[in-house]
Structure 1
Amino acid sequence: MTTEPSRLDSPVSEGLTNRVAGEPVQAAITYEKIPTHIYADAKDASRAVAREIADLIREKQGAGKPCVLGLATGSSPKTVYAELVRMHREEGLSFRNVVTFNLDEYYPMEPDSLQSYVLFMKEQLFDHVDIPEGNYNLPDGTVRPEKVADFCRAYESKIESYGGLDFQLLGIGGNGHIGFNEPGSLINSHTRLMMLDHSTRAAASMDFGSLARTPRKAITMGVASILAARRVVLLAWGERKAPVIRSAVEGTVTEHNPASYLQTHPNALFVIDEAAASELTRMKTPWLVDQVVWDNKMIKKAVTHLSLTLGKPILKLTDRDYNDNGVSDLLAQYGQAYDINIDVFNQLQHTITGWPGGKPNADDTNRPERALPAQKRCLIFSPHPDDDIISMGGTFQRVVDQGHEVHVAYQTSGNIAVADDEALRFADYVVDFNEKFGIDSPEANRIFRDAAAFLRTKKDSEMDTADVRYIKGLIRKGEAKSTCRFVGIPVENAHFLNMPFYETGKVEKKPLSEDDIKVVMNLIEEVKPHQIYAAGDLADPHGTHKVCLDAIIEAVRRLKHKNFMKDCWVWLYRGAWAEWDIHEIEMAVPMSPDQVMRKRLGIFKHQSQKDGVVYQGTDSREFWQRAEERNRATAGLYNRLGLAEYEAMEAFVRWKF
């Protein structure tokens, strides 16, 4: 397949193990059927895409022609739009010659609804640049059912009247959809009304408050409409997109993954971050693609992958296993399999500890944590009020039982994840209680009465009022306190930070601010911890974990010169969605069956998050089920590699600042 040169920055040539900041990773590509640029993070990738769009706009301006853009919605393109807005404000990039056509819109949908893509595009781009109002076009979610087909034909005709799309920006759904072309869409499909797949509706339900409120249909440009664009760039961020990206880039062209149709396009490009690329062959098993630097991390990755792939414990791997499965270079460099196997096995063995705070009066040479000080101050950062118990409940209990001073910092209120009927029940209870016992608190009574009245008549498109958010926050705060009492730490060691970025009342949050960072810094300085536990879970579909982690990282960087920070280690845990890869794990805390059950009971303290979670996404399991299955799977991996068999394990990676 021949392709036109990309306008994006060319990948650097240093090889897989070296990268220039802001540049994509490059390797000898033998498995990928679509050009794919991998960046360290979404910000760098988005800036590169925005530069390509800006260059195209200016090129068309110079030729006195309109620049016709196909635009996408969703979380993936937001940083691209933000960079374009910055270029408009700071670099004078004009959109006067730009004509846009959006991919899709829910149906039915009013343009001023909170979930409308019309509103999304205005908030993210159109209201901040000088594009003429008549130059942007979006599918109409209000058109009468009998007129939808006519509207779709007219939409296609209008694109053709401008000579077609110069550039089409895409995201990708978890099931491979592009636009709202769900699996089963044909390559010759055009703009039409589409029934949405259950997984698509489940993923979108966070914006609508529940699956029941999420539209079942959408108007979307078809696959043929997308492929007609002269240039197509698809964006994908996060490890939750990794499996579908691998299928689209390395698999066969199939209607089961509509993004794979882009293999047939002469000028398509995938722009993804390292997390979304994690399942690609050049990232997952880079030694099969090109020469690699066999450092310790790469050796562990190759040996554990070989062991799990062949279904053989590490200590049973042979020279022939290495030679027959693409790892002969490792043997050539380091000798026989026997020695490599023992080294990797011992490293994995040394990650396992029942003393996450360090074992007193013990040789800690091969232990993941220090023995001293024997009693440590531990600070657990929990992005939402239940992440502590869900993600590291067994370790939480261990450090408390082993005599350490434990503090928990609940970074956000988590109020948007409380169902309306739960908040209404709580509000009614307080109002009835106050009336029964004649409690006269005018402001409190007003808050709960007004909140109850609002919730009884709330429309799907309405945001919660400040009073309702306060009540929902109280519910989650009470549940967090209950968990602390259950585990055994004083309630005064529970710190509710209420970071400002979260308090928008919407799934969409504000950017991380100086105020957010200072809140985290102040608590670290107050506690002076020997251990910090933080959520390193970048698979969080809402992005809250990522913002919370960014705040902790920045706070630690600013405080690292302090004397107390010289004795502070930072351990990263994962959330409910994924686990660290086995070769990355630096501390694994085993759990007995009784400890697994105790963790489950701790999770149950969060009753508002139990039966019918508001934002659980496509995974219908309850949080305790996700946590147990993940912890058992981690223990299972250790056992398959030939180590001891445990009921479950919680895993951590140390961040060395």
Structure 2
Amino acid sequence: MLPETDTLLATPTLNQPIAFERIPTQIYADSNDASAAVAREIAEIIRSKQLQGKPAVLGLATGSSPKKVYAELIRIHREERLSFYNVITFNLDEYYPMQPDGLQSYVRFMQEQLFNHIDIPKDNYFIPDGTLSPAQIPAFCQEYERRIDELGGLDFQLLGIGRNGHVGFNEPGSHVNSRTRLMTLDLTTRIDAALDFGGLANVPKKAITLGINQIMKAKRVILLAWGEHKAPMIHQAIEGPVTDQVPASYLQGHPNVQFVLDESAAAELTRRKTPWLVEEVIWDKTMIKKAVTHLALSLNKPILKLTNRDYNDNGLSDLLAQVGQAYDLNIDVFNQLQHTITGWPGGKPNADDAKRPERAEPAHKRCLIFSPHPDDDIISMGGTFQRLVDQGHDVHVGYQTSGNIAVADDEALRFIDFVVDYNRHFGIDSPEAERIFKDAAEYLRTKKDSDIDTAEVRHVKGLIREGEAKATCRFVGNGVKNAHFMKMPFYETGKVQKKPLSEEDIQIVVDLIREIKPHQIYAAGDLADPHGTHKVCLDAVMEAVRRLKDEAFMKDCWVWLYKGAWDEWAIDLIEMAVPMSPDQVMKKRQGIFKHQSQKDGVVYQGTDSREFWQRAEERNQATANLYNKLGLAEYEAVEAFVRWKF
């Protein structure tokens, strides 16, 4: 079962050191609780300084990680009357060159996310200037640091962490004594930023950043990290050696630092990945499965070949002492894995379902697949989608967002030209449609990189994604009658940055579930999604399910979570594994190809250069290989699911 995500987890205090961790670390169930805790600490610093009649000097960060911290500070300001009159802030960095009103400008970011909503004096916040000439930058950087030093240094520094371990824009190779300077951005950083800039070619190659030296002099440092995609680097920064190749690792030498993580970002830490090496654990069924599968994969041995000595030599003697011999453990875990595998994701009719992941009855189920974008259904669970249709279930797909920002401008122009030419050829007179398409085309031909698409352009791009989704539904034999285009409002900003999840968004999900009354719900549990849309869509589904859980039809509804194009469930968490033959893998690929606007150069494909069909196939094949390595049957590919027991 997927762990609950809305309660604060117990964590060791700072006087109970974790042997593997070289930085004090606090792990929260989710980023909401974590952000609120950090905001409270900042508020206390501000209030304390006010009582002393002194300014509170804060170092601030940008990016997705601190947004909820800033939102909570705004709430505290409005509801608890926290004043920022004595606050002086210095931002970590800014792209270069960059105009302050640019869409990607950190000046604009800070104003929109914090400064415009609090009472901080305008002269009290400082952000590196992206408009300077190269000759002016050295003097500016010296003055930036001088101002901080004159104020007695930073009382508090808020940080995020890049996928390559950078803090600020101190890229790998930065020295611990590096000063504020103009920095050439690492390719990894530019790829990660391509989402915000509409493509890698538009991302600046340089940035002005506060140096490591000034960060290390701050009296208090908190680094935030959310999501699975941050987990590998968090592990290196906290448990690895101090190295200039992971600039965040320098924080191991700071006297008053803390990393604040959600469960996903902490997933690679030893206390989460192999907790039995850190402390005593309760050897329940879940923990035993985790330990045995990890041991087998670490030793590259099938489960049934593990010996008592393997357990004793790898930190699992306590497990043997409490539970029994390797032979019994091996068989038990092997059988658990075997029972996850099924070719009947909707349940096998007229079969004993005691050891199957799904119920046999009802034989024909109503299934509702929630697809955050118009292609996640086929990319993430296309083989299962096909099986459900082939096996006679009533399958519905709820496409939660329009996906319009992921359509390239030239693709939209091609579509517009087709519609206009079609209407002219057949003499179709539709003045309103003509105006919409004409306005959209004119805008696209004069659009600047920093411009937000108009409503007309977003509508055109949304129609393209909707048509592709319908093509996929027809391809799997489901037709389009069960395709539901939900167009959740939080997504419709025309920008990568979305609106917060609203009551209207949640109600749309509630209404669809209530209309279909499904026996199965499939939702994207992919928290590694770097764009954040999957997480928002999952939050909406979970909240909708919680609200509906007492209705009669929900008593017979199971919720299955799939992963997306970025990651896969850990083998010990998988509760349903749907195998695919080579022919089924090829058919899934062809279904993904129906999304032509997402092929051959995706607008927002994240940090992975592979196309979505390649990612999906390699991920599904890797899951199949894990089962095979553990000694189970060899399949071409496997799609995996975890059940959320709401």
1:532 counterpart SS class = strand
Instruction: State the shift of 1:256 in Å.
Output: 0.5
Distance 2:87 2:66 in 1: 17
Distance 1:424 1:189 in 2: 47
Instruction: State the shift of 1:421 in Å.
Output: 1.1
1:269 counterpart SS class = strand
The answer (yes or no) to whether the contact 1:390–1:575 under 8 Å persists in 2 is yes
Instruction: State the shift of 1:543 in Å.
Output: 1.1
| Cα deviation 1:133-173 (Å, max 9, x = unaligned) | 00000000001121111111111111112111111100000
1:558 to 547, 561, 564: 547
1:436 to 422, 425, 432: 425
- Matching of residue 535 in structure 1 with residue 524 in structure 2: yes
Instruction: State the shift of 1:554 in Å.
Output: 1.3
2:8 to 1, 9, 22: 22
* 1:227 equivalent in structure 2: 216
Distance 1:582 1:213 in 2: 39
1:454 to 438, 443, 455: 443
* 2:462 equivalent in structure 1: 473
1:212 counterpart SS class = helix
The answer (yes or no) to whether the contact 2:379–2:564 under 8 Å persists in 1 is yes
Change (3 A) 1:365 1:21: closer
- Matching of residue 282 in structure 1 with residue 261 in structure 2: no
* 2:474 equivalent in structure 1: 485
2:481 counterpart SS class = helix
The code of the aligned residue for 1:40 comes to A
Instruction: State the shift of 1:538 in Å.
Output: 0.8
* 1:647 equivalent in structure 2: 636
Distance 1:627 1:451 in 2: 34
* 2:22 equivalent in structure 1: 33
2:161 counterpart SS class = coil
1:620 counterpart SS class = coil
- Matching of residue 514 in structure 1 with residue 503 in structure 2: yes
- Matching of residue 327 in structure 1 with residue 327 in structure 2: no
Describe how 1:96-245 pairs up with structure 2 within 5 A. 96-245=85-234
* 2:252 equivalent in structure 1: 263
- Matching of residue 494 in structure 1 with residue 480 in structure 2: no
2:561 to 567, 572, 581: 572
- Matching of residue 634 in structure 1 with residue 620 in structure 2: no
The answer (yes or no) to whether the contact 1:182–1:196 under 8 Å persists in 2 is yes
The answer (yes or no) to whether the contact 2:378–2:385 under 8 Å persists in 1 is yes
* 1:4 equivalent in structure 2: none
2:326 to 337, 343, 350: 337
2:304 to 315, 338, 352: 315
Instruction: State the shift of 1:22 in Å.
Output: 3.2
Change (3 A) 1:553 1:20: closer
1:471 counterpart SS class = helix
Distance 2:194 2:611 in 1: 16
- Matching of residue 67 in structure 1 with residue 67 in structure 2: no
Instruction: State the shift of 1:522 in Å.
Output: 1.2
- Percent of aligned pairs with the same amino acid: 75
Change (3 A) 1:137 1:24: farther
- Matching of residue 79 in structure 1 with residue 79 in structure 2: no
Describe how 1:325-474 pairs up with structure 2 within 5 A. 325-474=314-463
Distance 1:222 1:442 in 2: 58
Distance 1:265 1:557 in 2: 43
Distance 1:359 1:18 in 2: 29
2:518 counterpart SS class = coil
Distance 2:277 2:34 in 1: 26
Distance 2:614 2:11 in 1: 37
Instruction: State the shift of 1:361 in Å.
Output: 1.2
The answer (yes or no) to whether the contact 2:6–2:30 under 8 Å persists in 1 is no
| Cα deviation 1:622-653 (Å, max 9, x = unaligned) | 00000000000000000000100000000001
Describe how 1:585-604 pairs up with structure 2 within 5 A. 585-604=574-593
Distance 2:6 2:615 in 1: 38
The answer (yes or no) to whether the contact 1:24–1:37 under 8 Å persists in 2 is no
* 1:606 equivalent in structure 2: 595
Distance 2:604 2:5 in 1: 36
- Matching of residue 92 in structure 1 with residue 59 in structure 2: no
Instruction: State the shift of 1:564 in Å.
Output: 1.4
2:200 counterpart SS class = coil
Instruction: State the shift of 1:262 in Å.
Output: 0.5
The ranges of structure 1 where at least 4 consecutive aligned residues each deviate by more than 6 angstroms after the TM superposition are: 17-20
Distance 2:99 2:118 in 1: 23
* 1:7 equivalent in structure 2: none
Distance 2:73 2:10 in 1: 20
Instruction: State the shift of 1:21 in Å.
Output: 3.6
Instruction: State the shift of 1:436 in Å.
Output: 2.7
2:201 counterpart SS class = coil
Instruction: State the shift of 1:19 in Å.
Output: 11
2:40 counterpart SS class = helix
| Cα deviation 1:520-566 (Å, max 9, x = unaligned) | 11111111111111111111111111111111111111112222111
Distance 1:625 1:64 in 2: 60
- Matching of residue 293 in structure 1 with residue 282 in structure 2: yes
The answer (yes or no) to whether the contact 1:28–1:290 under 8 Å persists in 2 is no
Distance 2:9 2:151 in 1: 34
Distance 2:10 2:449 in 1: 42
Distance 2:7 2:441 in 1: 52
The code of the aligned residue for 1:148 comes to I
2:381 counterpart SS class = helix
Instruction: State the shift of 1:432 in Å.
Output: 2.2
Instruction: State the shift of 1:20 in Å.
Output: 10
1:570 counterpart SS class = strand
The answer (yes or no) to whether the contact 2:276–2:316 under 8 Å persists in 1 is yes
2:638 counterpart SS class = strand
Structure 1 residues without counterparts, runs of 5 or longer: 1-16
The code of the aligned residue for 2:375 comes to D
Distance 1:616 1:365 in 2: 41
The answer (yes or no) to whether the contact 1:50–1:80 under 8 Å persists in 2 is yes
1:491 counterpart SS class = coil
The code of the aligned residue for 2:471 comes to S
The code of the aligned residue for 2:622 comes to A
The answer (yes or no) to whether the contact 2:440–2:457 under 8 Å persists in 1 is yes
1:492 counterpart SS class = coil
Distance 1:277 1:419 in 2: 35
Distance 1:18 1:516 in 2: 22
Distance 2:417 2:87 in 1: 53
TM-score normalised per structure 2 = 0.98
The code of the aligned residue for 2:162 comes to G
The code of the aligned residue for 1:528 comes to K
TM-score normalised per structure 1 = 0.96
2:207 counterpart SS class = strand
| Cα deviation 1:565-588 (Å, max 9, x = unaligned) | 111111110000000000000000
Structure 2 residues without counterparts, runs of 5 or longer: none
